[in-house]
Amino acid sequence: MNSNRKAFLAVALAVGLARSAYAADATLLNVSYDPTRELYSEYNAAFARYWQGKTGKTVEIQQSHGGSGKQARAVIDGLEADVLTLALAYDVDEVGKSGLFAADWQKKLPNNSAPYTSTIVFLVRKGNPKGIKDWNDLVKPGTSVVTPNPKTSGGARWNYLAAWGYALRQPGGNEQKARAFVTALFKNVPVLDSGARGSTNTFVQRGIGDVLLAWENEAYLSVNELGPDKVEIVTPSVSILAEPPVAVVDKVVDKKGTRAVAQAYLEYLYSPEGQEIAARHYYRPRLAAVAQKYAGRFGKAPLFTIDEVFGGWAKAQKAHFDDGGVFDQIYQPSK
């Protein structure tokens, strides 16, 4: 509660300061999640150039980053975001429920309103000493797996669902087997950090665990930062298609009169330049031409979507992550 309020204050303060310093024709506030910091600082500059060329007007884009759920709550509580670029549709849904935009937001932009995607991969130590190749290696006794807590981290929910989907898709796979598989996997998790960066720290700095479950783009950043002599990426045989969605906050843009520029800001993410920037930051582009260019960078393993396997975020959240859901039952003492 406390840190939440602090984060909100910090955002409010930063926005206030930034506002007094510039006098652009329009200002947008993009409320995003943690790992997109570098992506959007590059994209914002590109979009401002494009917008000035097209309309002759200047635009100033402010960024706010934090845990996806925390960011969504800040917007629900009154942070005036023009656009949301969050980690999962569930968080955007919740903002919509508060009345800031309609429930069909995901249909307003192409590709489920997700201009770039990612997936869940494994980060292992140099040389892969435990020989981890696929999901079923994670449940072996003696293998230690690091992932954040799905209850507090949006990213970790993708990890969990990817494992579940893998088990379901094995020959003879069913709900029961998937449950047993995920239970066995979490029995191998020694630490559940509250967020993705915390888990990366645990794995890399503390040297805990044989494998870290991570978003592909985060895994690449870790390899770049630490050098390929420390860690390497393993792509499992099948994984989930993570679709971080974007949305215009209708109520806010109508009030501020920024609808046109906010809409253009998100649409330009689908343009060749926007896609190029996303790909440079290790997000998978949607545009075939750009995907071709960066093909060597991304694994070819088949990816399933949350809609195919779980019937969408609302269902997945309720069945797996809400209180009393499957994840809780893994840790509930047997009665």
* Closest CA relative to residue 281, chosen from 268, 297, 300, 296: 297
Structural contact between residues 60 and 94, judged by C-beta atoms closer than 8 angstroms: no
- Placement of tokens 């204050």 in the chain: 9
CB of 302 to other proteins, least distance (A): 30
CB-nearer residue toward other proteins: 209 or 274? 209
- Placement of tokens 């917007």 in the chain: 75
CA dist 90 to 13, 77, 217, 244, 277, Å?
Answer: 27, 17, 21, 10, 25
CB of 84 to other proteins, least distance (A): 15
Structural contact between residues 18 and 41, judged by C-beta atoms closer than 8 angstroms: no
Interacting residues of 40 by C-beta distance below 8 A, sequence separation 6+: 30, 32, 61, 63, 85
CB-nearer residue toward other proteins: 168 or 326? 326
CB of 157 to other proteins, least distance (A): 10
Structural contact between residues 31 and 75, judged by C-beta atoms closer than 8 angstroms: yes
- Paired strand residues for 30: 63, 83
CB-nearer residue toward other proteins: 93 or 137? 93
CB-nearer residue toward other proteins: 198 or 312? 198
CB-nearer residue toward other proteins: 3 or 176? 3
| Count of other CB atoms within 10 angstroms of residue 298 | 21
Structural contact between residues 212 and 147, judged by C-beta atoms closer than 8 angstroms: yes
Q: Look up residue 267 and give its two tokens.
A: 């649409």
CB of 191 to other proteins, least distance (A): 4
- Interface positions with other proteins (CB under 8 A): 1-4, 69-70, 73, 76, 94, 149, 151-152, 190-194, 198, 201, 205-208, 317, 321-323, 328, 331-333
Structural contact between residues 234 and 124, judged by C-beta atoms closer than 8 angstroms: yes
CB of 76 to other proteins, least distance (A): 8
CB-nearer residue toward other proteins: 95 or 269? 95
CB-nearer residue toward other proteins: 68 or 117? 68
CB of 260 to other proteins, least distance (A): 31
CB of 273 to other proteins, least distance (A): 35
